Amino acid sequence: MKVIKTIRETREVVYTARRAGKTVGLVPTMGALHEGHGQLIERARAESGLLIVSIFVNPLQFGPGEDYSRYPRTLEADLDFCKARDVDVVFNPEPSELYPDQQKTFVEVEEIPSELCGRSRPGHFRGVATVVLKLFNVVLPDRAYFGEKDAQQLRVIEQMALDLNVPVEIVPVGTVREADGLAISSRNRYLTPDQRRTAPILYQALNAAYQALCSGEREVAKVLAASEAVLAEEPAVRKEYLEVVDARLMTPVTTVDGPVRIAGAVWIEKTRLIDNLYWKEKR
């Protein structure tokens, strides 16, 4: 496995692979790799001749006061993780490699980032869309893999690729959960053992709404009341949002008449956790 720091060298490896007729897969990450990333890598490995994992904590997607500086950086363990999964190249640039000048060009997707995480993290999805397009321009992959746990991010990237005619197939990969339902996330490692025990309440709350939909309830206020009741059992968990949104636009609906995501964000002290469930009527 090669660990590459520069855009030039990454492009050379990609060029050589393409000349040999290989397809190129990209798994963009910010490191602190876990089994969620493991699933992305496994899927990408099965579908790519050349598999590149990027590890880059992107300053552009963190707002002032967010956890950019304390975001877990575990490069040695991440490289072992990738090696064990037969990754060909880890692209691990310094910020100055991807941002050689003060960035003046940004990718701004409209509407999709406006609700959910976008409300409390202004500029976050602009930072994500911009860095992802930059990574696409460096690697020029055939396919790129993103987790459904970050459903709003996934929709922003899908829309960006569609609107800008980016010739990359965006492949969504399902959320990976611990046995108790907690969605696996790099930020779970901030949780103390006590907080870890309460953390699955978010999944349980989303699941209550999911069950309400399965039982035929279509009024969102009633669907969410089921979730709120579950969350209220844990006063240590502070709700940021709990919403039922249109699965494409990621904007709230009042009545469910098509595919939706039930999405939530909570705080357990200083740790912010997000999760969501996709729901669609079975016909």
Active site residues: 37
* Dist CA 222 CA 213 (whole Å): 10
To the nearest whole angstrom, how small is the minimum distance from the Cβ of residue 132 to ligand PAF? 6
Q: Is residue 28 near ligand PAF by the rule CB under 6 A? A: yes
Least distance from C-beta 201 to ligand PAF, angstroms?
23
When asked if residue 128 is in the footprint of ligand PAF (CB under 6 A), the reply is yes
Instruction: Report how far residue 46's alpha carbon sits from residue 92's, in angstroms, rounded to the nearest whole number.
Output: 22
- Least distance CB 14 / ligand PAF (angstroms): 18
Which span sits near ligand PAF by CB under 6 A: 12-20, 27-35, 82-90, 245-253? Answer: 27-35
Strand partners, 267: 238, 272
Count of residues engaged in binding ligand PAF, rule: CB under 6 A: 10
- Select the residue interacting with ligand PAF from 29, 48, 185, 198 (CB under 6 A): 29
| Of the candidate residues 132, 237, 260, 265, the single one contacting ligand PAF (CB under 6 A) | 132
* β-strand partners of 183: 177
Pick the stretch among 41-49, 124-132, 210-218, 251-259 that binds ligand PAF (CB under 6 A). 124-132
By C-beta, is 44 or 131 nearer to ligand PAF? Answer: 131
Q: Please, which residue, 131 or 160, has the CB nearer to ligand PAF?
A: 131
Q: How far is the CB of 16 from ligand PAF (least distance, A)?
A: 25
Scanning residues 151 to 190, which ones bind ligand PAF (CB under 6 A)?
153
Q: How far apart are CA 177 and CA 217, in angstroms?
A: 26
- Position 131 contacts ligand PAF (CB under 6 A): yes
Would you count residue 26 as binding ligand PAF (CB under 6 A)?
no
144 lies in the site for ligand PAF, by CB under 6 A: no
Which residue from 58, 175, 207, 276 is in contact with ligand PAF, where contact means CB under 6 A? 58
User: In the complex, which residues of this chain contact ligand PAF (CB under 6 A)?
Assistant: 28-30, 58, 61, 128, 131-132, 150, 153
